[in-house]
Amino acid sequence: MLSSSRRVTIPLPDRSYDVVIGAGLLDQTGSLLREAGLSRPIAVVTDDRVERLYGQCLLASLTAANFAASFHVVAGGEPAKSFATAEELSESLSKAGVDRSSLILALGGGVIGDLAGFVASIFARGIPYVQVPTTVMAQVDSSVGGKTAINLRTGKNLIGSFHQPALVIVDTDTLATLGPRERNEGFAEVVKYGVIADRLLLDEIAKLGTHQLTSVIERCVSIKARIVAEDEKEESGKRALLNFGHTIGHAIESAAGYGKLLHGEAISLGMRAASWLSTKYAGLPEKDHQKLIHLLKQLQLPVVLSDEIATTAVMERVFTDKKFQGGQIRFVLTAEFGSAFVSEKITRPDLESAVDSLRESIV
């Protein structure tokens, strides 16, 4: 392992794994896999753009470490998280001879990580997989924690499983090839971690902007590691705190049509709505609500909902959210940045009002 890299352990019974963070780690993938005791034939799952950028580098690293590897390339973007693509990928794996002795490696952003992880959880009744995330969103959040999923037309991530990776390799150099919009969307999840667990992170992001990310990634992953270790499968309610901004955000993303808004852009809107509800029902000071909005704007994330996305369409999708049980609304609020809690007192009219509040322009 490179001496400049950092390591965070996700401590789970019988299946703990490490998240290795640093620059230039893609070149070290083969040796990091060997170091983790992973010696299986590898099926690399990626999208066409990431394969062009990093496929040869990854293949060279795997070959140097004497791994047999096949590549399975799917179309990029949120629409790839579908039954059709999962079936297509599974057929490709089968034709390549992937079996229970193999390992899937997800190279790409959150879509690829979710899709590859889901297929790994069901192919041959479940095989190991490794995450090699290449976006801010995936590096700070979605590659860690074992949630895998595909979408339905009625809602995001409604079909999925808990399937923890065997290793996560975060090469911060891969962020250099992101466009501004794709890069910025990932900071919605960084803001979320600041709201629910680390208020100082909000101040640091405001100062750092989108640079000097290694320590920021490490802090976000460390927060998620603690929460996942306490509540891996959302049984105690602790892990639900990671959904701050996501209930309404996911509904907006679905109502807009997958691919119209990037995930982080929808979550930015969802966090503004959750913050607004927090001022009404949790005592969050108005000045903190405004601080959050202006931080999101500073990060070039949307804070105003387009009139093209109807409140009724958003609300239809809110109530298909997998976090609701028996119609009971469980919504994450914050009374002060750095902590959060799950409330069961938010009503449907409250949610509608929160969505409508997103129409108000911000100076």
By CB atoms closer than 10 A (0-12, 13-18, 19+), residue 352 is middle
Percent of the chain clearing pLDDT 70 (strictly above):
96
If you compute the radius of gyration of the chain from its CA atoms, what whole number of angstroms results? 20
Q: In the CATH hierarchy, which fold is given to the domain comprising 180-357?
A: Dehydroquinate synthase-like, alpha domain (1.20.1090)
Contact of 102 with 40, CB cutoff 8 Å: yes
Cα→Cα distances 24→104, 169, 215, 308, Å: 21, 10, 16, 43
Percent of the chain with pLDDT strictly greater than 90: 87
Question: Quick check: 328 pLDDT over 50?
Answer: yes
CB atoms within 10 A of CB 357: 15
Q: Which residues are catalytic?
A: 125, 147, 189, 224, 234, 239, 243, 246, 250, 263
pLDDT of residue 1: 46
Question: pLDDT tens digit string along 65-91?
Answer: 999 999 999 999 999 999 999 999 999
CA dihedral of residues 161, 253, 321, 348 (deg, nearest 10): 170
In this prediction, residues 239-253 reach a mean pLDDT of 96
Is 6-177 a CATH 3.40.50.1970 domain?
Answer: yes
The whole-number pLDDT of residue 206 equals 77
Write the burial class of residue 360 (CB in 10 Å: 0-12 exposed, 13-18 middle, 19+ buried).
exposed
Q: Using one digit for the tens of pLDDT, what is the confidence trace for 142-184?
A: 999 999 999 998 889 999 999 999 999 999 999 999 999 999 9
Q: Hey, is 90 helix, strand or coil?
A: helix
Q: At what angle do helices 286-298 and 187-197 cross, to 10 degrees?
A: 160
Beta 341-343 vs 331-333: how paired, if at all?
A: antiparallel
Helix (H) or strand (E) holding 125: none
Please report the pLDDT score of residue 207 as a whole number.
76
Give the confidence band of 204 by pLDDT, cuts at 50, 70, 90. Answer: confident
Tell me how many helices (H) and strands (E) the chain has.
14, 11
How is the chain split into domains, by residue range?
Answer: 6-177, 180-357
Quickly tell me which residue has 């992937």 as its tokens. Answer: 98
What is the reported pLDDT for 211?
Answer: 58
